[in-house]
Amino acid sequence: MISVEEALSRMLADITALPIIKLPLAEVSGLVLAEDVVAQEDIPPFDNSAMDGFALQSTDSKAHNGQPPRLRVTGGVAAGYVADHAVEAGTAMRIMTGAPVPPGADTIIQVELTHNDGPDSTWVEILHEVTPGNNIRPAGEDMRRGQTILQRGAELGAWEIGILATLGWATVPVVRQARVAILGTGDEVIEIDQPLAPGKIRNSNSYLLEAAVRRAGARPERLGVARDTVESLREKFAQAANYDLILTSGGVSVGDFDLVKDIMAEQGQVNFWRINMRPGKPVAFGHIGGVPLVGLPGNPVSSAVTFELFARPVIRKLQGHTYVLKPQVDVTVEDGIQDRAQRRHYVRAYVTWHEGRFVARTTGNQGSHMMTSLLQANALVIVPEGGPEVPPGTVLKAIMLDWPEDTRV
């Protein structure tokens, strides 16, 4: 049995990022940028108004003997248009937010600080003195031509996509999304729309994993359930060989019908098998015809936990992410942990911030068949190897499952 750290580093050492492709901007959400983005234009592209109001010369805004100056209004400029004449001394032009500042004007006053006769007024009174540059958003203030705005390796979320659209990147070079084959195993496993028959259980793992793969940003595909025969597994593995990653669940322990490792060895190679942890000891990792395969245990909680700890980082590395591991924080285990295990124990818990510290409450019976122990769990509290006693109030590390990855390896 190897340690969790060794298992993770052996898996990740074996994974390289997928090829770079160009995709339409609307399809890159969650993917990783493969090239630096350098602004080819100033943004904003032209000096423009931050307010609906009037463009004028700042020297014309000074009051005379306590009287507001009255300027002649020579026209207007709306967003999307350019003024057809300049603002001269003693005059002003109506201007809308986002419209280019007309030549001659050096300042904008918002409409609330003026007085006039209505929309067609030919004059405007300036009720406040304004300084040069007031309410003007200069060209290049946000991004300068030639400036590197996004770096290769950046994860593309909504903000980054807004920037790319602003700069006119209609297609974007990204690391390709991973296609992940999901395979259930076991004669006891039936489809979820079937009534339960004696000895049978529904295929929950494939659906749980499908959702987890999608949440990790990859494209899952369920390939059904292989029977507990060499032929059935060979056939399913042949189908799975066209994917970027294969996830199996079940069939990796020491039972008479736990055949996944045998077929891995026959058609590829087993890099390691068994990790010193609970839940999830029998995890196997290797290749089938060049495609990495993570053999997750059949027990649903073991499958879910080992997906988060191993398969999710593998998917992130495949997709070119820099940060592949979830953050860990110190938590005070409010209720303690009675369930002692010799292997390192990942205990499902609900962590909240309470009076200046993180407090963990475990989610009940931690058996690896107890799917309800996953409900509410937003963290895995790590109890070190050797099964030390964890009385209430003990401080341990916890992996925060809902926080974004912040650790590279």
Ligand X SMILES: Nc1nc2c(c(=O)[nH]1)N[C@H]1C(S)=C(S)[C@@H](COP(=O)(O)OP(=O)(O)OC[C@H]3O[C@@H](n4cnc5c(N)ncnc54)[C@H](O)[C@@H]3O)O[C@H]1N2
The residue ranges that bind ligand MOO (CB under 6 A) are 278-281, 297, 299, 302, 368
Identify the residue among 100, 102, 250, 268 touching ligand X (CB under 6 A): 250
Q: Which two tokens stand for residue 251?
A: 């069939």
Beta carbon nearer to ligand X, 312 or 345? 345
Beta carbon nearer to ligand MOO, 71 or 275? 275
Q: Cβ of residue 275: shortest distance to ligand MOO, in angstroms?
A: 9
Q: Cβ of residue 341: shortest distance to ligand MOO, in angstroms?
A: 8
Identify the residue among 32, 99, 130, 189 touching ligand X (CB under 6 A): 189
- Partner touching 203 among ligand X, ligand MOO, none, CB below 5 to 8 Å by kind: ligand X
* 397 DSSP β-pair partners: 330
Angle (CA) 96-101-104 rounded to 5° is 130
Question: Strands of 268-273's sheet, edge to edge?
Answer: 219-226, 179-185, 245-249, 291-296, 284-288, 268-273
357 sits in which H/E element:
strand 357-362
Helix axes 230-240, 260-267, angle to 10 degrees: 60
Q: Cβ of residue 219: shortest distance to ligand X, in angstroms?
A: 20
Q: Is 367 a binder of ligand X (CB under 6 A)?
A: no
Q: Is 184 a binder of ligand X (CB under 6 A)?
A: yes
Cβ neighbour number for residue 267 with a 10 Å cutoff: 17
- Partner touching 286 among ligand X, ligand MOO, none, CB below 5 to 8 Å by kind: none
Beta carbon nearer to ligand MOO, 25 or 370? 370
Q: Cβ of residue 208: shortest distance to ligand X, in angstroms?
A: 8
Place of tokens 């004669």: 187
Q: CA-to-CA distance for 174 and 167, rounded, in angstroms?
A: 16
Among the candidate windows 16-24, 45-53, 98-106, 244-252, which touches ligand X by CB under 6 A? 244-252
Q: Is 258 a binder of ligand X (CB under 6 A)?
A: yes
Identify the residue among 105, 126, 143, 252 touching ligand X (CB under 6 A): 252
Beta carbon nearer to ligand MOO, 61 or 303? 303
Asked if the peptide bond before residue 388 counts as cis, ω within 30 degrees of 0, the response is no
CB 120 within 8 A of CB 72: no
Identify the residue among 135, 177, 253, 362 touching ligand X (CB under 6 A): 253
- Partner touching 206 among ligand X, ligand MOO, none, CB below 5 to 8 Å by kind: ligand X
Q: Is 282 a binder of ligand X (CB under 6 A)?
A: yes
Among the candidate windows 132-140, 261-269, 296-304, 374-382, which touches ligand X by CB under 6 A? 296-304
Q: Is 201 a binder of ligand X (CB under 6 A)?
A: yes
Identify the residue among 48, 114, 203, 373 touching ligand X (CB under 6 A): 203
CB 285 within 8 A of CB 292: yes
CB 55 within 8 A of CB 111: no
Beta carbon nearer to ligand X, 3 or 29? 3
Place of tokens 């020491």: 254
Beta carbon nearer to ligand MOO, 53 or 280? 280
Q: Cβ of residue 164: shortest distance to ligand X, in angstroms?
A: 40
Residue nearest to ligand X (CB): 298
293 sits in which H/E element:
strand 291-296
- Reference 30, options 162, 161, 148; nearest CA is 161
- 83-106 burial: b if 16+ Cβ within 10 Å, else e: beeebeeebbbbbbbebbbbebbb
Q: Which two tokens stand for residue 237?
A: 């593995």
Cβ neighbour number for residue 405 with a 10 Å cutoff: 17
Q: Cβ of residue 371: shortest distance to ligand MOO, in angstroms?
A: 12
Among the candidate windows 128-136, 231-239, 253-261, 312-320, which touches ligand X by CB under 6 A? 253-261
Angle (CA) 392-394-395 rounded to 5° is 145
Q: CA-to-CA distance for 369 and 380, rounded, in angstroms?
A: 16
Give the binding site for ligand X (CB under 6 A).
Answer: 184, 186, 188-189, 201, 203-206, 249-255, 258, 279, 281-282, 297-300, 302, 368
